A and B are shown apart, each in its own frame.
Chain A
Amino acid sequence: MKLLLIEDYKPLQKSLTKGLRESGFAVDTTGDGKEGLWYATSNDYDVIILDLMLPGMDGLTILKKLRAKGKETHILILTAKDTLEDRVTGLNLGADDYLAKPFAFKELLARVHALMRRSYQKKNPVIKIKDLQIDLNKQQVRRGKKQLQLTPREYSLLEYLAMRRGQAVSRTDIWEHVYEFNSSASSNVVDVYIGYLRKKIEQPGKPSLIQTVRGRGYKLGETS
Chain B
Amino acid sequence: MMRSLKTRLLIGTISGMILLLFVFSTIIYVVIRSALVNQFDASLISTTQMLSALTEQKKDEVDVESEIQLMAEFKRKQKPAYYQFWTADGTELQRSLSLDTNDLSPFGGTLDKPIYKVFKMSNGQPVRAISIEFKPRLDKPKRKEKLTESEVSQPFIQQQTITLVIARDTTDLQYHLWFLRCTLLIVSVSTIGLSFFIAAPIVRTGLKPLNSLATQIENVDEGDLTARIDTENMLTELTPIKERLNDLLSRLEKSFNRERRFTADVAHELRTPLAGIRSTVEVTLKRIRDADEYQTALSDCLAITQNMQAMIDNLLALARLDAHQMTFQRDEIQLAELINTCWQNFTDRAIQRNIVIDNRISPTINCQSDTKNLSMVLSNLLNNAVEYTNEGGEIWTAANKTDDSIEITIANTGCKLTAEQASQVFDYFWRADTSRTDTGIHCGLGLALVKKITEALGGSATVELHDDVFEIKLTVPI
Q: How far is the CA of A9 from the CA of B283 in the complex (A)?
A: 16
B283 and A103 contact, CB distance less than 8 A: no
Contact B435 A16 (CB under 8 A): no
B268, B287, B304, B436: the one within 8 Å of A11 (CB): B304
Q: Is the CB of B433 within 8 A of A9?
A: no
> When A8-B436, A9-B276, A53-B437 are in contact, do A19 and B283 touch as well, CB less than 8 Å?
yes
Q: A12 to B269: give the CA distance in the assembly, Å.
A: 14
Which residues of chain B come closer than 8 Å to A125, judged between CB atoms?
Answer: none
Question: What residues of A have a CB within 8 angstroms of the CB of B304 in the complex?
Answer: 11
Among A54-62, A184-192, A203-211, which stretch is in contact with chain B?
Answer: A54-62
- Given known pairs A14-B300, A19-B283, the reply for A103 and B434 (CB within 8 Å) is no
By beta carbon, the residue of chain B nearest A99 is B275
Which residues of chain B in 258-292 are interfacial with respect to chain A, using CB atoms and an 8 Å cutoff? 264, 267-269, 271-280, 282-284, 286-287
Query: A101–B282 Cα gap in the complex (Å)?
Result: 14
0/1 interface trace, chain B 182-217, chain A, CB 8 Å (1 if under):
000000000000000000000000000000000000
Instruction: Name the distance in Å between B135's Cβ and chain A's nearest Cβ.
Output: 118
In angstroms, Cα B435 to Cα A51, docked, is: 10
| Contact present for A55 and B433 (CB under 8 Å) | yes
A14 to B293 alpha-carbon distance, docked (Å): 12
Report yes or no: A8 in contact with B283, Cβ–Cβ below 8 A: no
B300 — which chain A residues lie within 8 A by C-beta? 11, 14-15
Q: Measured between alpha carbons, how far is A47 from B391 in the docked complex, in Å?
A: 36
Contact B268 A12 (CB under 8 A): no
Chain B residues whose CB sits within 8 angstroms of the CB of A53 once the complex forms:
434-437
Please measure, in the bound complex, the distance between the C-alpha atom of A201 and the C-alpha atom of B77, giving whole angstroms.
153
CA distance A182 to B1 in the complex (A): 84
**Known contacts A19-B283, A105-B279: A12-B272 contact under CB 8 Å:** yes
**In the assembled complex, how far is the CB of residue B262 from the closest CB belonging to chain A, in whole angstroms?**
15
Q: Is B23 an interface residue (CB 8 A)?
A: no
Does chain A have a CB within 8 A of B439? yes
Distance from A52 Cβ to chain B, minimum over Cβ atoms (Å): 8
Across the two chains, which residue of chain A brings its CB closest to B268? A80
Contact of A22 with B286 in the complex, beta carbons under 8 Å: yes
Verify if B303 is at the interface (C-beta below 8 Å from A).
Answer: yes
A106 contacts chain B at the CB level, 8 A cutoff: yes
Question: Can you list, as one digit per residue, whether each of B302-326 has a CB less than 8 Å from chain A (1) or not (0)?
Answer: 0110000000000000000000000
- Asked if B435 and A56 sit within 8 Å, CB to CB, the answer is yes
Q: Does A90 contact B (CB under 8 A)?
A: no
In angstroms, Cα B211 to Cα A138, docked, is 68
Name the residue on B nearest A51 (C-beta).
B437
Cα-based distance from A34 to B460 in the complex (angstroms): 39
- Asked if A101 and B275 make an inter-chain contact with CB atoms under 8 angstroms apart, the answer reads yes
Tell me, yes or no, whether A118 is within 8 Å of chain B by CB.
Answer: no
Query: Provided the pairs A11-B280, A11-B303 are in contact, do residues A101 and B272 lie with their beta carbons within 8 angstroms?
Result: yes
Question: What residues on A are CB-neighbors of B282 within 8 Å?
Answer: 15, 19, 104-106
Select which of B279, B433, B435 is within 8 A of A15 by beta carbon. Answer: B279
Picked from A9, A18, A56, A108, the residue with its CB within 8 Å of the CB of B272 is A9
Give the interface size class of chain A. Answer: 20 to 34
Q: Are B280 and A9 interface neighbours, CB within 8 A?
A: no
Closest to B271 in A: A80
Complex Cα–Cα for A186 and B135 (A): 162
Residue of B nearest to A56 (CB): B435
Find chain A residues with CB under 8 A from B277 CB.
11, 102
A81 at the interface (CB under 8 A from B): yes
Cα A14 to Cα B296 with chains together (Å): 11
Inter-chain CA distance A33–B433, complex, in Å, is 12
Chain B residues closer than 8 Å to A54, beta-carbon distance: 435
Task: Assess whether A213 is interfacial by the CB under 8 Å rule.
Answer: no
Contact with A along B433-457 (1 / 0, CB 8 A): 1111101000000000000000000
A96 to chain B, nearest CB (A): 20
Q: Flag whether A88 is at the interface (Cβ < 8 A).
A: no
Is residue A100 within 8 Å, beta carbon to beta carbon, of the partner chain? Answer: yes
CB distance from B229 to the nearest CB of A (A): 28
Residue of chain A at shortest CB distance from B304: A11
Which residues in A have their C-beta under 8 angstroms from that of B271?
80, 82, 100-102
Contact A8 B437 (CB under 8 A): yes
**CB-CB nearest in chain B for A11:** B276
Per the bound structure, the CA–CA distance linking A82 and B275 in Å amounts to 13
Of B283, B297, B435, which one neighbours A105 at CB under 8 angstroms?
B283
Given A8-B435, A11-B304, A80-B268, the answer on whether A102 and B283 have CB atoms closer than 8 Å is no
A14 to B286, CA, bound (A): 15
Q: A15–B277 Cα gap in the complex (Å)?
A: 9
User: Are B283's CB and A12's CB within 8 A?
Assistant: no
CA distance A53 to B69 in the complex (A): 128
| Inter-chain contact A16/B283, CB cutoff 8 Å | yes
Query: In the complex, A16→B286 CA distance in Å?
Result: 12
Are B437 and A22 in contact (CB-based, < 8 A)?
Answer: no
Contact in complex: B439, A104 (CB < 8 Å): no
Within 8 Å CB of B275, what residues of A? 9, 12, 80, 101-103
Contacts of A81 in B (CB 8 A): 268
A32 to chain B: closest residue by CB: B435
* Shortest Cβ gap from B158 to chain A (Å): 127
In the complex with contacts A11-B303, A11-B304, A55-B278 CB distance below 8 A: no
Name the one of A11, A55, A103 contacting B435, with C-beta atoms under 8 angstroms. A55
7 additional A-B pairs beyond A14-B280, A15-B284, A102-B271, beta carbons within 8 Å, are: A9-B276, A11-B276, A15-B300, A16-B279, A80-B269, A103-B279, A105-B286
A: which residues have CB within 8 A of B?
A: 8-9, 11-12, 14-16, 18-19, 22, 33, 51-56, 58, 80-83, 100-106, 108
Supply 12 A–B pairs (Cβ within 8 Å), ascending by A.
A9-B275, A9-B439, A12-B276, A14-B280, A15-B280, A15-B300, A22-B287, A80-B268, A80-B272, A102-B274, A105-B286, A108-B279
